Amino acid sequence: MASLTGSTISSSYERLLTLPEDGGNGTSYVNVTDGDGETTFGIRLSTEGASFSTANDATHPERIIHIGYDTYSGILIQAADGAWARGYNFGKYSDGSKLGQFGGYGGDDALSYMFIGEAYNDATIVFTQANNRVGIGTTSPSTTLHVAGSFAASGPSAAAIAMDSSATPSVAGGNIFTNTNAGTITSFDDGVIGQVIYVYSGAAVVYDDGAGNLKCGNGDITTANGDVTTWVKFANDWHLVSWKDQSATLNSGGF
């Protein structure tokens, strides 16, 4: 068993290696060097916890993993000053080549997103902390859930969302809505291109074809209690796809 200058080694399980304090400040260091004397791995023990570095702590403080550090109760992977990517990698047993990873990416001491995938810039899924968004197939999601590509859903929203009483209600919260506010709607706010929504009318709701971004045909439409309209967003406009008139007899055809 090798010895370290100023250290004691015990055969007991609880205290295998004891390091001396550095300058009386409660911090101890062990640096592992190569044949040229350059530090390749470092361990720092202090009252704040343990830190592991892939290079000299003083030279590369960004390359540090902290365990139980300061106010953190788990493992802290320290960010860098400038662009950085840190994470856990999974590699092949045969040659160690990378299979995938999960971690974080950011810059200037900030976190841009967490990721899972081949690499930080080739991620399958990302999670942005600043605006609470999820991106699948994209590292820059523009909505709460942004899927870059085709997708399938196993079912509709868990519950219908009640629209507010404004003329421009938000449709960011889902795809199935109810509107029990008698009045006129001129636009739907917060939608994204390709979004499809279903609106159940619980009152006399008028959709204005010319005042905002609604395209209902050649004129306004007025729905009644029990009617359902379907809309899809193209570019900046919402286009009426279907209108189920609850008062109409539909057993002879579609609508």
Give the integer Cα–Cα distance in Å for 229 and 166.
Answer: 18
Q: Are 105 and 115 in contact (CB under 8 A)?
A: yes
pTM of the model as a whole: 0.49
For the domain spanning 161-244, the CATH number is 2.60.120
**How is the chain split into domains, by residue range?**
26-77, 84-147, 161-244
For CA atoms 245, 251, 252, 255, the dihedral sign is positive
Read off the pLDDT of residues 100-109 as tens digits, 9 standing for 90 and up: 899 899 887 7
Read off the pLDDT of residues 22-47 as tens digits, 9 standing for 90 and up: 554 555 666 666 666 665 566 666 55
Burial of 13 (0-12, 13-18, 19+ CB in 10 A): exposed
Low-confidence ranges of the chain (pLDDT < 70): 1-81, 151-157, 252-255
